[in-house]
Amino acid sequence: MGFLAKYLAFFKMSILHHLRNYKLLIGLCIFQLTCLLIFAHIWKVAAARMGTIDLDPKLLLWYIALNEWILIAVPDIEIDMEYELKTGQLAYFLPRPISYLGSKLVEGVGALLLNMLVLGATAFLFVYFWTGALPLPPTSFIITVLMGILAGFLSLVFTMVVGISAFFVHEVEPWRWVWEKFLFVFGGLMLPLTIYPQWMQTIAHWTPFPAILGGRSGLIFNFELEAMLWILFSIMVWTSIGLIFLYTLYKRGLKMLNVEGG
């Protein structure tokens, strides 16, 4: 019980820390609403010019909202991890009776859940009043939101992978840039993956990006049990791969740090 209490304390501290930084949360909400307002007007024109592709502008706005919700809510934990390694703070964290990697993961989850709660309420209320309806029946929409929480955790894990790469490359910004650009393209940030060329859909199928963004958000266009179970399976598999990869890199990084003398 004491073991879990330690991690729970980090989880609570993370939430309290981000609540104190409420101005950042307000800024994220304003940024999110600005994006949604822009896309709300863009899709009125764009959807009408897509020819044979039948895309409802209201559903497209919900699609964007579900994507932006995850994209903005994931904290920039990789920047903190890079800073702690470059400044030597990591050496002070290692002797503590709690895993550094575990504590950062729990802190990230606390920030993620708080961001998702605030940003989700902001985005979904805005889009609901803009469109006048939910994109799915209430039960299906709740399932989609719950899957979004799992997708947020998946994105957090791979964000930490980017952060832990500071052991080897020292500067994580290039890796962060690459990760985000692949997420935008193969995650289907602005357009559903179903309208992509077939070769891009095939590549995306073998990556975690659709599970984080477009594949999951795309359920609002065709919510079927088979599609939902596939996305859920994909989230679970990629989360497991991400956690294993994260732990492996962390252990190799510590070994390298000890060999080089810190």
Residue type (1 letter), 114: L
Q: Say which residue, 85 or 220, is predicted with more confidence.
A: 220
Pairwise CA distance, residues 113 & 115, whole Å: 5
In angstroms, rounded to a whole number, what is the distance separating the alpha carbons of residues 204 and 198? 10
Structure tokens given for 34 = 């600005």
- pLDDT beyond 60 at 145: yes
Listed in sequence order, the residues at least 6 apart from 43 whose beta carbon sits closer than 8 Å to its beta carbon are 55, 57, 60, 61, 64
Buried b (16+ CB within 10 A) or exposed e, 189-218: bbbbbeebeeeeeeebeebbbbbbbbbbbb
Report field, pTM of the whole predicted structure over 0.85: yes
- Cα distance between residue 175 and residue 180, in whole Å: 9
Where do the domains of the chain lie? 2-260
The arithmetic mean of pLDDT across residues 125-147, rounded, is 91
pLDDT recorded at residue 98: 80
pLDDT above 90: residue 167: no
